[in-house]
Every structure is written in C-alpha cells, then in structure tokens.
Amino acid sequence: MSTDPLVVFTPSGKRGRFPKGTPVLTVARQLGVDLDSVCGGRGICSKCQITPGYGEFSKHGVTVHADALSEWNSVEARYDEKRGLKPGRRLGCQAQVMGDVVIDVPAESQVHKQVVRKAASARVIEMDPATRLYFVKVDEPDMHTPTGDLERLERALQKEWGIDEISADLTLLSKLQPVLRKGKFEVTVALHKSHTDNTARVIEIWPGLHEAGIYGLAIDLGSTTIAAHLTDLVSGEVMASSGIMNPQIRFGEDLMSRVSYAMMNPGGDVEMTKAVREAIDTLAAEIAVEAGIDAKLILETVFVCNPVMHHLLLGIDPVELGQAPFALATSDSISMPARDLDLAAINTRARTYVLPCIAGHVGADAAAVALSEEPGKSEDLALIVDVGTNAEILLGDKSRVLACSSPTGPAFEGAQISSGQRAAPGAIEAIRIDAETKEPRFRVIGCDKWSDEVGFWEETAATGITGICGSGIIEAVAELRMAGLMDDSGLIGSAAQTGTDRMVAEGRTHAYLIHDATAEGGPRITVTQGDIRAIQLAKSALYAGARLLMDERGVDKVDRVVLAGAFGAHISAKHAMVLGMIPDVPLDKVTSAGNAAGTGARIALCNVGARAEIERTVRAITKVETAIEPRFQEHFVAANAIPHKTDPFPELSKVAPLPTPSFNTGGRGEGEAGGGRKRRRRA
Amino acid sequence: MSTDPLVVFTPSGKRGRFPKGTPVLTVARQLGVDLDSVCGGRGICSKCQITPGYGEFSKHGVTVHADALSEWNSVEARYDEKRGLKPGRRLGCQAQVMGDVVIDVPAESQVHKQVVRKAASARVIEMDPATRLYFVKVDEPDMHTPTGDLERLERALQKEWGIDEISADLTLLSKLQPVLRKGKFEVTVALHKSHTDNTARVIEIWPGLHEAGIYGLAIDLGSTTIAAHLTDLVSGEVMASSGIMNPQIRFGEDLMSRVSYAMMNPGGDVEMTKAVREAIDTLAAEIAVEAGIDAKLILETVFVCNPVMHHLLLGIDPVELGQAPFALATSDSISMPARDLDLAAINTRARTYVLPCIAGHVGADAAAVALSEEPGKSEDLALIVDVGTNAEILLGDKSRVLACSSPTGPAFEGAQISSGQRAAPGAIEAIRIDAETKEPRFRVIGCDKWSDEVGFWEETAATGITGICGSGIIEAVAELRMAGLMDDSGLIGSAAQTGTDRMVAEGRTHAYLIHDATAEGGPRITVTQGDIRAIQLAKSALYAGARLLMDERGVDKVDRVVLAGAFGAHISAKHAMVLGMIPDVPLDKVTSAGNAAGTGARIALCNVGARAEIERTVRAITKVETAIEPRFQEHFVAANAIPHKTDPFPELSKVAPLPTPSFNTGGRGEGEAGGGRKRRRRA
C-alpha cells in the first residue's frame, strides 16, 4: 500500500496514493478533483487534458521522474495529430500513474471553471449549468431482455454518470431510435437537471461525440428593450450580445400604459404577449446567426424582467398589477419548456427558467440584481438602486435585506422633458455650468470632446446637437443649483436675478438656454421650470423609496450606494447627490453595477445552484410596499428640495468618473446588450 | 378522558373516544375512516353524508341515544331544502358527537369506494384516481406579505389538504387570477397527483364549488377499432362507451403491413400518427356528447395498445418493431400532457397515462390484461390468451409470470379464409355437423336461432347468409374433425371416402359445403382445404407460444385457461380444445375475461396505485421471444395435427357456453366498446 505512487493535483492540492497503472482521470474522480470528461474516459472528447509536472516539488514533498506517467499512447498520438495537444499536455483518461507525480488541471479542463466577470465586482461565475453533455455507450437491444431504447439509455447514464432517472418528451422519443443506430449506440446527450428535484430531462441527443457545443440565452426583458446574451454552456463565454426594441412600445411607452391597454382592450394582453414572444424569437434567431451557431443548439433560456413584463411574457393578463393590492399571479420562479413561450427558433425541447419576483412591483429583474450584487452577503450596509420608470431599490447587509419599488416616472429617461430625447448620437449627456460666467459646456453622445474643446463642433457637425438625454438633464439641474441659478425649492431665477442672459423668459417662468441652433434650422435646447419639476418628482420618489427602506431598517445613512442598470452606468454620482436622488455617501462609495439584472440572468444560466440561492434569497427579503405606506408620501414631499447649493466634493478638481460598469460588454443598461450608443436607453 | 363519547364507524369498525362537540368529519379523519369531503368541512359539498344508528348495538357494546349527535342545524336544513338529503342522513361536517354513537358511512360517501365489476372476476376496482377535486379558501392578496396567487393557492392546499407542492402550466396561470376573484377566493381545483413522486399538478380550477363532475377516458387502441370508456372520476361509473374504426386501416389491415407502409413511405409513420390522433380526438368529442357532459371536463386519459399502435400513437416510427431485435423506443409507462397527442376536444391540461409495454411484441394491452387478470396473484397456474393477429400469451401464478406473443396471423379474424368475413350480421358464427348424417346446422350473427329451428330462415332473410366469421371457422374445422370428415393431419376426405355429397371437389382437394345460395344469387359457403391449412397455421402458432411458456416454466399442463379479448368472448372452449388451440383443461376451467385490456385501462384510470402496481408487475414478468427460440418452431410443427377425433367432453349434451364476459358492456373485444355485433371484430 505505502509503496503505491503518490498523486498530487494542483491547483486543488488534493492528493492520494493509487496503484500503478491507474488512469489519471480515475484518480481525479476518486479524489473529487474537478477534471472534466464528456466521453467518460474513452479518449475521444479530450476534455480531461492535464499537465504533469516533472522534477522536484519541495512544497509537495515529491520528486517526479520522467516515467511518472505511462508512455504517450496511440490514442493521444491520434488526437494530437487530428486536433493538436498543447505541449506538455496529456489526456487524463489515457495517462496512467506509474510513480509519484504532480498533475496540474488547467482551467479549461475543469467542469466548475470560474468565469471572471470583468472589473467592478470581484464575484466570479462558477460554471455549473443545468444543461450538460454526456457521452455514453448504450447497450444494444437484446430480445432476451427486451427493454426500450430509452430505458437502456437511462441505464447507461446511470452506470457511467450516476444519473438517477431521466425523462424525455415525445419529440425526443421520436428521434431516439434513428440517432442511437446512426451512432452505433454511442451518443451524446444533453441532460437538463432540475435544481429542485433529482430528475434529468433529455433535451437533445446526437450520434457519436457532439462537438458543436451547446448554448444558452440570458435574456433581460425590459419595457423598452430586450437584450440577450448568447452564452456557451460549457465555457461560460458570451458568444454574442444583442438587443432589440420591445415591440410592446406601440401599446404603451411605460408599464402602466400597457396595463391600461390590457384593461381597456379585450384581448389586449394576448396581443402584447404575442408581440413580445415574436420579438424574442426573432432576437434568438438573429443572435445565433451573429455568433455563427445553429440556433437549435440553444438549449436553455433564462429570463429576468419586471412584474408586468413577466406576466405579459407568460401570457398572464397584468391587470391585477395595475391596482392594489398588486397581486402577482405567481411569484415563484418558473421552470418550463421554452416552446410554451412560442420560441420556435431555438431547440424545440429547450428549457426556460424565469427568476422569481420579489413582490407585485419588484420583479425578477430586481431578484437578478440581488443575485448579482448580493446585498445579503455584504458586510456593510448597501443601497442598490436600479433606476428606470420604476426604480427597484434594495437595502441590506448580511443581517437582512429589504426591497421596494418606487414610481419615478419616465423623466430620468429623457421623457416629459422639453428638450428631452432618448440617448442617441447628438444628445447632450453631460454638462457643466461655470459658477462665475454661468456659461455651459457640454458633451454629446457620439463625441468624446467637450463643447469647449478644439474639434468638438467639427466632430458633431454630422449629427448636430439634437436634445438632452437622461444623464444630461440630471447634470443640468444639479449644475444650475451649484451655479446659483436655482434655489433649493427648484425655482430658476430670471436674467435680472442671476445676471446672465442665458436665462430666458418662458411664459411666467424662466428657462436656461444651453444651446440655440435655430439659426441653422436646429433646435433650441433649454432647461425649463417644468423640466426641473419633472426631475424633482422623479428624484423625490427615488429618494423617498430609499428612505422608507432605511426607516424600516432603522438607519439614517448607508455605507455605500450601487447604481445598477443603464442609468447607473452613465450618471455622475456627484450630480445625483447634489440633486438629492441618493443619500449622501463618500463619492468612492458609489459604484456602478452596470447591467446587474443581465448579469444576474447570466449567473442563473451558468450556475444551477444560483437558482436555488436566489429563490431562498427572495423568500428572505423583507418587502416594503411604497403605495400603501404613509411615510413614503412624507418622505416624498420632504425630498422635493435640492439640498446642496455648492459642490459637495470641492476637493475633486473635476467630477470623478464612476467606476466603469462591471462585466457586461456595453454596460449600458436594462434590457440592453452593449450594442453601442445608438441603442443606449436611459443615460 | 374516559367519559368522552365513544364513536364507532361502520363498516370499517374503527372506533375511538372524542370530546363532545367534535364534528363527525373530524373524528373520521382522526381515525383514518374513509369519509369523503371536497369542501373541507364547510357544509357545501355534501360529500360527507353519514347515517347515525340509534338504539342498542350489542356487537359494538354501545347504546346510542337520540341525542348522540348535535341537533340538525341550519346548514343541513338548507342543503336538504336545496338538494334533498336521504332520510336518516346527516352531514358529517355539521353533526357533532355528543354521546356514544355508531355511524355508518354509506358507499357513496367513501373516497375509496369500490366499483364492482360485473360477473366473472370477483375483483373490484377501488376508486383512488390520480385526479381529484379539492375545494379551498385561498387567502386574499396582501401587500404587506406579497406572494403570488398560485403560492397562496398552494398554501391553502397544504393547510387544508396536506398537499405538498403544486405546479401549474401557463394556460392555468393565465386563468388563475380571474377565477380566484370570481369565486371570491373560494375555488375548486382538480389536482393530478403523480404516482411516482410527490408533486401535484393543477389541471383545472373553477370558482366556488364545482359540481359538474370530472371525467376520464380509458382508451383501448386496437389495430382495427378504437374504444373509449368515459368514466366518472369520482364514482367510477362508466357514463358511456363508444368505439370507432381505426383509420389507419387504410394504410394496412394488420400491424406488419402498417410497419411496412412506414418503411416504404417516407413520412408514412407521421401520416398514420396524425390519422389515429384525429380519430381519438373525434371519439372523445363524440363520447362526451353521448354522455351529455362538457368534453372539457375530461381531465385524464389512459391508453392501452399493442407496441406498434403504441409507437404510432406517440409519434414514433415503428420501423424497429418490424425487424429483430424488435426494439421498443421506450418500454416504460408514460405520463404526459394529453395535448402532446393533439387531443384538442378534451381539457387542454388533461393528462395521459400509457401503460408500460412488456416487450417488443407484447404491448401495453398485454400489460392491461395482466393488470385486470392478475396472473401474478393466481394460486393455480393460469394461461391467459388474448387472441388477435398476434396472440399475447401470459402464463403464471404467484411464483412467477411469463409472457410472449405469437404470430397467429389474421385467419382467426376471418381473413385469408375462402368464405371468411368480419363478424357482421349474416356471418356464420357457430356450426355443428351431425356425426351420423354429416349435415350441418349453424347460427348467424343477428339471429339467435339455429338453422334447423323454426323461423331461422325468415329471420335471416333480410341479411342472408353472407360468409363465415372467425368463431364460425374454428367450430367448422373442429366439427369436421369430430364428424370424421377430416383426419388428424387436417386432410379432408372426398365424397367417396366420407359417404356424403357435402364433400365437393375443389381442384385437387376437397371442400365441405355448408350452404349454397347461388340459386338465389347468394354465396356458396364452403370450408376448403386451404381454409383448414390457414387455421392450422394460426392455431399451431398460438399453441406453440403457450407451450414455449410452459417449457420455460417446466410444466406440461396448466390449471386453467383464460380467453381474453373479442375472440375469447365468443369462441367455444370445447372447439378450441378439439382444434388444439389451447392446452386441454377441464371445460369449467376455461373462462372468458371479456375485454380484459379495456378493463385494465379502466383500472389504471380509476386507481393510481394500480399504475405503480402494473409497472412493478411488468418489470417482474419473464419475457420470452418466440421469434428467436428454436423450440418455438419445433412446437409449431408438432402442433399442426388436430388431436381430438371425438368430442372430448361427451358427457355434456351440448356445447357448454362459456361464462359470460366480465364487466364490459359488450364484452366483444379488443378495442371495442360493446356497440353490438355489427362492430364485433374477431369472433
């Protein structure tokens, strides 16, 4: 026994003695080392590649000789010839232990490999998808012990992979026999394991070893845009991200107008459901083309969305969500066939997982933010805000998490603003007003220069200056306050009061002129008193929601603020605080989580354990309903003022940029996939 | 404690002492007495009716006084006024125990009531359907603890009925909210409980108390006919039985010709699947009309069928069943949504259960026969034969059950017989040949008289004598043998050899003339040498199959024979033995099981436990494949002779009738629902 060779794995450090001649894959399995294999050790899938180390390993107390592993064999040679093995690599199922050895498992050979999310959050996604590939050799039929092909497939999966019980729908059964025979009873199956019970569904079956990969779609279904991330279910890699407009916009710009549409028009909900499902189906087909894969290899979809979109996606009339007590038809997560959502482009047996909703106004998108940002694991008290037409707000730390939503309205998205527009080239997205001269300088989407920099006007000539978007109007209002052009009640001064002819009369109130291109047939861009009132209402609602959670929690300050969604990726933290949108915290305690909802969807797609986790988390969250809470109204009124009359961070010579959004490629928002500025929705 | 009143239930005999004021329903539940309730004790469903007994019950040692139960209350009075309570009845949820009492639970108040099958078998069907009704009061939505309506429904079912976990598909979710509100949060749900795990599906939901009942279809899908029994899922009562032709007949009369059609015509299997599903859907719609119920109240279907029909129903190309090793795509039972079978007439969420197949040639119909006839519970050794184009044969007792199928061909069904025809009015179904005169007398379908009885010719004038059906040809061949007109090799004598001019020359062989109507333009009905050869082949195959099982079992005789299916209901046991179709046993040991496959389907529909039972049973059955067994060929050749040259039961003055078939209304066969002789298929 003691003379058996010692095998040490890195990076896990797991070790043990095994008889000479034991394949490395077998050793790894017995030690519980995470070494992948699809073909079960037949030397055909090449997933179990390892790198033996030779020489002195004093750390491990091992000296590895050149003959520590069996010699390079014909299976490895054939594979190397056909596909190429990296230098130093061996196939774990072929190489046998012959002496003490240190074996490194490279990241790509690990099943539970970690996909590092870029920047911001340190959290990584550990790959543990619900749907995985298994290569098996199925016993051929035998008249003496007549069992069905499905039952023999089940037995093979049981024997080789320890799968308890499988199920298959009729569409799979109808292809089972020809595929088994085409593969000479060697097949690859994609199994979807439930996270709630021990069953596994056969989603797809291919003859022989399937090498074209399997994919999933993480879909962030927003009121305005639908974004999808096509993800490799083995590597976790995002193959393509794409977004399209939510076609329901023609039934109503915001959620409540869509609920009204459903109320006023019999069958209106069915119409909207059809429209959004068709759009998702189109998006799925397009993203597969973009990534150059067969859409039928998409075997899973995960959805995050607000409650109204949730119901309209599922074919449930959202009418109850439009009136107290805002009852959801169902709040739990949903696992179901994707074809129940009429998704025809992807695999007909693909599964769909919809994250749970937190409450009638706090949806699966907020649950996804909680999954991504993990307030329940935070040491300090974090306020997480996902701003849109409704703001979803989470407040919590390890001890407790609270959630609410607040009806901010569409002003933050540039709607209901006199010169407002969507984020698109030509829109003013940032502005500074000189406290002395009261003169503005600004930046527009599509150009990196400020308007007082050389080359700005040349570079923007093509698009012109077309309007002001969400992030621009917030900065404008905050700058007006800091430049002394507006009082703390939000009232703008006249030209006489302020001493600048940027102040122009507008009926009985005044407006601040940012840019006048009427001479060239362009627009005249101003910030009016009405614009300021709209922003005040929106920011008061947001602040009041946060305050209400803080009251519930019994605190009057938070340790840090996370701005999630498109908005969070683009607004200036300083201006948000000047405006009183968010509670004051040190500027470096405000971070942007980028598209946290989309990230949450990706996590649930790549890690089946995360589904159980978010379901537990959501159950534990304390839900606070703003609509019935008298204090919300009090906070709302109290928050109307614009508190800071000077820059609260004078030590910073210029506005500190927010940390860049975390992983998502564009990081630009709810329901959006980084398609570039022209698609940017809110900021 | 000891002064608490004693409550004794009959017929169960369960007893216990309970505090005064305890409702009878509560007592019943605590004692585990089978007392039904849909509304959970709210006094609205009236399912919990009981009959208290008064006076001296020496058997139970109890004297019951007039005040043993609380007084008749307003709830009972209202119910009695509206619907009428039988004299002496009380509502178990309203009547409270006040003193020692003996309470009878009438059969209709028992959940697990027993539905007695008529005649033959003593077995009863115990009602324990997978789908049951539950009335619940659901908590109204509350903004302070926002959960979905589905989750509150689940909680109510958990609290009131102990249901662990429910699921609902999107079509149910989309109607959940309006139904809950229409019922003021009091609803009746139909739950389908899985027999393999602990989950329950919401199949339907109605506002308030649903009183229109719920129904299931037991479907016997035969090669020639499709029969359905519409069954009340509460009482077990068969509301209607109906059958239609299997439209696949246009693709091939027998199973193998349909398999050939699928082999020769790309898409042929899809065509056949579509045809049979449409026929079943039509049948379901028609039977609901016949029974006067809404087809959408049909919430379950159960199918039994042979392997080829099984695959064609499920949409699986049956090509593998046409060639060794006769591999089934799946052999296990199947639970799935009925809509996967395109059954649109019934409830969109109805479930389907398909019994397991035993082997590639021994189908779910044979499993249903095993469920109905229970060879595995037999004290003596039983041979069960379900005769058709293929005969399914079961042999067994408590110790072990064996099964095989044998390719008898269509001769028993009147095909490949010179004057053969289907069982229809005008067909000769019974015949006797006088051993002295060699003259025949016969009976035809549609007339109860023999041809030598007064009135026969008048009564048959309308139909005429048109041919000879399966049971007729079997009797004819056996009678020819007993009349000395045929030797033991099956060779018919000439007129000269036999001394009767009933023997007519037919090419180089002879034929026996039964009836000649050519003078009136009718047919000339003979039994030819070719007919006898066809019957010999068929009976040899059947006998060889039985012998093969007896060999496997190591016996050379059986204790009893059960003839199942249409054939079994109509052939004469004596003639079958004369012919050597079945092993010799005393005549009273041959019984007819009627439509045993259809009965098995009804059992599986009415009792969810029977599903687990037949799945276990099928796994334990020893499968014997006739196609690869050399001894089958030996037995087949050896069985060619026709052994008995005289009546083996001379003590019986006339042919003893078989016991009438058991429960099914018509008892006439595979895939048939007792529509009368015109539909009879095989005999």
Encode pLDDT of B118-144 as tens digits: 433 435 788 999 999 999 999 999 988
Contact by Cβ (8 Å): A238, A220: no
pLDDT at position B117:
46
Phi, psi of B96, deg, nearest 5: -105, 145
With 60 as the cut, is the pLDDT of residue B348 above it? yes
One domain for residues B495 and B479? yes
What lies within 8 Å, CB to CB, of B563 at 6+ separation is B385, B387, B569, B571, B573, B576, B582, B590, B591, B592, B593, B658
- DSSP, collapsed to helix, strand or coil, labels residue B373 as helix
| Residues of chain B neighbouring A317 (CB-CB closer than 8 A) | 174, 177-178
| Residues of chain A neighbouring B177 (CB-CB closer than 8 A) | 316-317, 319-320, 327, 329
> Which CATH number does the domain housing residue A198 bear?
3.10.20.880
| Residues of chain B neighbouring A173 (CB-CB closer than 8 A) | 314-316, 329-330
Contact by Cβ (8 Å): A606, A445: no
| Residues of chain B neighbouring A319 (CB-CB closer than 8 A) | 177
One domain for residues B495 and B516? yes
| Residues of chain A neighbouring B326 (CB-CB closer than 8 A) | 141, 143, 146
Is A683 inside a domain boundary?
A: no
Please tell me which of the candidates B146, B177, B314 has its beta carbon nearest to residue A329: B177
Is B404 inside a domain boundary?
A: no
One domain for residues B263 and B139? no
| Residues of chain A neighbouring B629 (CB-CB closer than 8 A) | none
| Residues of chain B neighbouring A145 (CB-CB closer than 8 A) | 623
Is B271 inside a domain boundary?
A: yes
pLDDT at position A115:
63
pLDDT at position A411:
82
Q: Average of pLDDT values for B455-484? A: 91
**Interface touch B146/A173, C-beta < 8 Å:** no
What residues pair up with B562 in beta bridges, in sequence order? B384, B591
CA–CA separation, A646 and A403 (whole Å): 32
User: Cα distance from A144 to chain B (closest Cα, Å)?
Assistant: 7
User: Cα distance from A66 to chain B (closest Cα, Å)?
Assistant: 51
With 80 as the cut, is the pLDDT of residue B682 above it? no
Which range scores top for mean pLDDT: A111-120, B39-48, B201-210, B223-232?
B201-210
| Residues of chain B neighbouring A327 (CB-CB closer than 8 A) | 141, 146, 148-149, 177
Please tell me which of the candidates B147, B176, B625 has its beta carbon nearest to residue A143: B625
Give the rounded distance of the alpha carbon of B382 from its chain centre.
19
- In order of A548, B49, B163, B185, the CA distances from B141 in angstroms are 22, 34, 21, 10
Residue from A149, A153, A330, A625 whose CB has the most chain B CBs within 10 Å, to mutate? A330
What lies within 8 Å, CB to CB, of B458 at 6+ separation is none
Average pLDDT, rounded, for chain A: 88
Please tell me which of the candidates A142, A148, A174 has its beta carbon nearest to residue B315: A174
CA–CA separation, B240 and B243 (whole Å): 10
The domain total for chain B is 4
**Interface touch B326/A148, C-beta < 8 Å:** no
**Interface touch A332/B169, C-beta < 8 Å:** no
Q: Is the dihedral of CA B208, B209, B213, B215 positive or negative?
A: positive
pLDDT at position A650:
64
Is B565 inside a domain boundary?
A: no
Over the stretch A219-254, which tens digit does the pLDDT of each residue have? 999 888 899 999 999 988 899 999 888 999 889 877
pLDDT at position A625:
85
**Interface touch A332/B142, C-beta < 8 Å:** no
What residues pair up with A634 in beta bridges, in sequence order? none
Residue from A151, A153, A174, A320 whose CB has the most chain B CBs within 10 Å, to mutate? A174
Burial degree of B111 (CB within 10 A; 0-12, 13-18, 19+):
middle
Contact by Cβ (8 Å): A232, A239: yes
pLDDT at position B671:
35
Q: Give the residue from chain B lying closest to A314, CA to CA.
A: B170
In one letter, which amino acid is B366?
A: A
| Residues of chain B neighbouring A314 (CB-CB closer than 8 A) | 170, 173-174
| Residues of chain A neighbouring B324 (CB-CB closer than 8 A) | 143
Is A361 inside a domain boundary?
A: no
Contact by Cβ (8 Å): A351, A335: yes
User: Cα distance from A186 to chain B (closest Cα, Å)?
Assistant: 16
Nearest to A610 by CA among A158, A140, A124, A203: A124
Q: Is the dihedral of CA A132, A134, A140, A142 positive or negative?
A: negative
Residue from A138, A142, A143, A197 whose CB has the most chain B CBs within 10 Å, to mutate? A143
Please say which residue of B139, B172, B207 terminates a domain: B207
**With bands split at pLDDT 50, 70 and 90, how would you rate the model's confidence at B414?**
confident
User: Cα distance from A592 to chain B (closest Cα, Å)?
Assistant: 29
**Interface touch B625/A144, C-beta < 8 Å:** yes
CA–CA separation, A221 and A364 (whole Å): 10
Q: Which domain holds residue B51?
A: 6-109
- Cβ neighbour number for residue A477 with a 10 Å cutoff: 25
H helical segments located in A162-306: 170-182, 255-264, 268-291
Q: Give the residue from chain A lying closest to B323, CA to CA.
A: A143
With 70 as the cut, is the pLDDT of residue B116 above it? no
Q: Average of pLDDT values for B569-574? A: 83
**H or E segment at A10?**
strand A6-10
Please say which residue of A189, A207, A225 terminates a domain: A207
**Interface touch B177/A331, C-beta < 8 Å:** no
Q: Average of pLDDT values for B268-275? A: 96
In one letter, which amino acid is A386?
A: D
Burial degree of B34 (CB within 10 A; 0-12, 13-18, 19+):
middle
One domain for residues B100 and B132? no
CA–CA separation, B311 and B323 (whole Å): 15
H helical segments located in B405-509: 456-459, 470-482, 495-498
Q: Average of pLDDT values for A251-278? A: 92
One domain for residues B223 and B348? yes
pLDDT at position A186:
96
With 90 as the cut, is the pLDDT of residue A570 above it? no
pLDDT cut 70: percent of chain A above it: 92
- Cβ neighbour number for residue A42 with a 10 Å cutoff: 17
**Interface touch A332/B623, C-beta < 8 Å:** no
Is B76 inside a domain boundary?
A: yes
Residue from A140, A158, A170, A181 whose CB has the most chain B CBs within 10 Å, to mutate? A170
pLDDT cut 70: percent of chain B above it: 92
Please tell me which of the candidates B169, B319, B320 has its beta carbon nearest to residue A340: B169
One domain for residues B175 and B254? no
Contact by Cβ (8 Å): A514, A492: no
R_g (Cα) of chain B, nearest Å: 29
One domain for residues A220 and A350? yes
One domain for residues B103 and B139? no
Burial degree of B96 (CB within 10 A; 0-12, 13-18, 19+):
buried
| Residues of chain A neighbouring B330 (CB-CB closer than 8 A) | 148-151, 168, 173, 176
Please say which residue of B207, B242, B267 terminates a domain: B207
**With bands split at pLDDT 50, 70 and 90, how would you rate the model's confidence at B661?**
very low
pLDDT at position A560:
96
Residue from B149, B169, B170 whose CB has the most chain A CBs within 10 Å, to mutate? B170
Q: Average of pLDDT values for B451-479? A: 92
Is B82 inside a domain boundary?
A: yes
Maximum distance among all Cα pairs of chain B, rounded to whole angstroms: 103
Q: Is the peptide bond before B325 cis (omega within 30 degrees of 0)?
A: yes
CA–CA separation, A345 and A215 (whole Å): 13
Residue in the structure block whose two tokens are 């048959």: B460
One domain for residues A416 and A381? no
- In order of A200, A336, A340, B201, B248, the CA distances from B169 in angstroms are 19, 8, 9, 8, 33
One domain for residues A638 and A559? yes
Query: ipTM of this model?
Result: 0.83
Q: Is the peptide bond before A141 cis (omega within 30 degrees of 0)?
A: no
CA–CA separation, A336 and A229 (whole Å): 20
Q: Average of pLDDT values for A61-80? A: 90
With 60 as the cut, is the pLDDT of residue A668 above it? no
User: Cα distance from B652 to chain A (closest Cα, Å)?
Assistant: 44
Two structure tokens written together for A486: 């507006």
pLDDT at position A660:
33
Burial degree of B8 (CB within 10 A; 0-12, 13-18, 19+):
buried
Please tell me which of the candidates B150, B168, B174 has its beta carbon nearest to residue A315: B174
Is B376 inside a domain boundary?
A: no
Contact by Cβ (8 Å): B566, B682: yes
In one letter, which amino acid is A458?
A: E
| Residues of chain A neighbouring B358 (CB-CB closer than 8 A) | 146
Two structure tokens written together for A674: 């980084």
One domain for residues B193 and B313? no
pLDDT at position B561:
95
| Residues of chain B neighbouring A150 (CB-CB closer than 8 A) | 329-332
CA–CA separation, B38 and B34 (whole Å): 13
Over the stretch A324-377, which tens digit does the pLDDT of each residue have? 899 999 999 999 999 999 999 999 999 999 999 999 889 999 999 999 999 999
| Sheet of A165-167, strand order | A131-137, A186-193, A199-207, A165-167
pLDDT at position A252:
84
Two structure tokens written together for B299: 């919430």
With 70 as the cut, is the pLDDT of residue B666 above it? no
With 50 as the cut, is the pLDDT of residue B676 above it? no
pLDDT at position B121:
41
Over the stretch B577-630, which tens digit does the pLDDT of each residue have? 999 999 999 989 998 888 889 999 999 999 999 999 999 999 999 999 888 788
**Interface touch B141/A173, C-beta < 8 Å:** no
One domain for residues B57 and B153? no
